[in-house]
């Protein structure tokens, strides 16, 4: 009985997924009826397979890299980095390379680690172009500036001076 309940939940999710994919005009009921008609003709096992496929789709390495690099806050990135999740990506880092990880007491290590993550994985995925390098470098600058915004105005300006210097350095020699 519990399996039947699970299948019903999945089928219900499938109905919502399929209905959401169909054009619905709230002024016209016939489009809603059309979606019900399509669902009525759908075989339960094919609907089930479609829903399971949608729910179990694995994120590609490229998708994971982009999500972690550009769409994840630095704390979540660090958590995933510490857990090496996903383990198919290159999580190695030399910190801020030959520069201090915390210049003037400003904590740039996590920004540098994410920057290394971007370079290493984009290179491994054969998509390290000039445009993508610029996006990774700009994200590095944003991460450092986000760190700077944790401080008051006076310290923030000093922090941003360090951040801009680090950014200028990676723009000048970061791809070597």
Closest CA to 23 of 14, 10, 33, 11: 33
145 carries an active-site annotation: no
| Residue bearing tokens 């003037």 | 104
Please, what sign has the CA dihedral across residues 144, 145, 147, 148?
Answer: positive
C-alpha span between 25 and 32 (Å, rounded): 8
Peptide bond into 86 cis (omega under 30): yes
Q: Which two tokens stand for residue 141?
A: 């600058």
16, 107, 115, 145: the catalytic one is 115
Q: Are 118 and 65 in contact (CB under 8 A)?
A: yes
Exposed / middle / buried, residue 84 (Cβ in 10 Å: 0-12, 13-18, 19+): exposed
Q: Hey, which residues are catalytic here? A: 115
């Amino acid at each position: 009985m519990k399996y039947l309940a699970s299948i019903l939940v999945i089928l219900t999710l499938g109905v919502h997924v399929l209905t959401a994919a169909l054009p619905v005009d709230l002024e016209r009921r016939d489009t809603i009826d059309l979606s019900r008609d399509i669902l009525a003709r759908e075989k339960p096992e094919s609907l089930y397979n479609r829903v399971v496929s949608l729910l179990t789709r694995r994120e590609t390495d490229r998708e994971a890299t982009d999500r972690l690099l550009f769409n994840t806050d630095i704390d979540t990135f660090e958590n995933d980095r510490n857990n090496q999740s996903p383990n198919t990506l290159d999580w190695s880092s030399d910190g801020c390379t030959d520069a201090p990880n915390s210049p003037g007491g400003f904590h740039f290590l996590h920004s540098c680690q994410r920057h290394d993550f971007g370079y290493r994985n984009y290179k491994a995925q054969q998509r390290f172009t000039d445009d993508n390098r610029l996006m990774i470098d700009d994200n590095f600058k944003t991460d450092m500036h986000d760190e700077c915004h944790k401080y008051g105005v006076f310290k923030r300006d000093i922090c941003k001076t360090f951040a801009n210097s680090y950014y200028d350095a990676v723009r000048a020699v970061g791809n070597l």
